[in-house]
Amino acid sequence: MALMRAIFPPSKRFSREIFAFTTPILFSWLVGNCKVMETEVEGRKEKNVVHIKKCRFLETTHCAGMCVNMCKLPSQKFLKDSFGIPVNMVPNI
């Protein structure tokens, strides 16, 4: 993990955009179709938001509790603790 933190320093534009870019490539099998969208950070536009239209995991389980407890919270904690990248997942339940 130290190597990942060195390559992708936390809270840097490059890190945020590369994580957003790789998410649709690596996780489409789990969450379904997703696309990278643009947002504004500190007055600059970045492509750092991943929009998942309909989460395959949530659609399959039909359970908001599983979404939050088995996906949202653990994913946010893992990315923050392991890579220093704060992530805010907002499920549309």
Number of domains within the chain = 1
DSSP summary character for residue 37? E
What does pTM read for this prediction? 0.71
pLDDT for 37 equals: 94
Calculate the CA 78 to chain-centre distance.
11
**58 belongs to a structural domain:** yes
Q: 11 with 25: CB under 8 angstroms?
A: no
Residue 10 scores a pLDDT above 70 = no
Q: 48 with 80: CB under 8 angstroms?
A: no
Output the DSSP codes for 37-85: EEEEETTEEEEEEEEESS-HHHHHH--HHHIIIIIIHHHHHHIIIII--
Question: What is the domain extent for residue 20?
Answer: 2-83
**66 belongs to a structural domain:** yes
Reported as a single tens digit per residue, the pLDDT across 21-76 is 989 998 888 888 999 999 998 899 999 899 988 888 888 888 888 888 888 899 88
**93 belongs to a structural domain:** no
Reported as a single tens digit per residue, the pLDDT across 68-88 is 888 889 988 988 888 777 888
62: Cβ–Cβ under 8 A, 6 or more apart, which residues?
none
**90 belongs to a structural domain:** no
Q: Which residues pair with 45 in a beta bridge?
A: 40
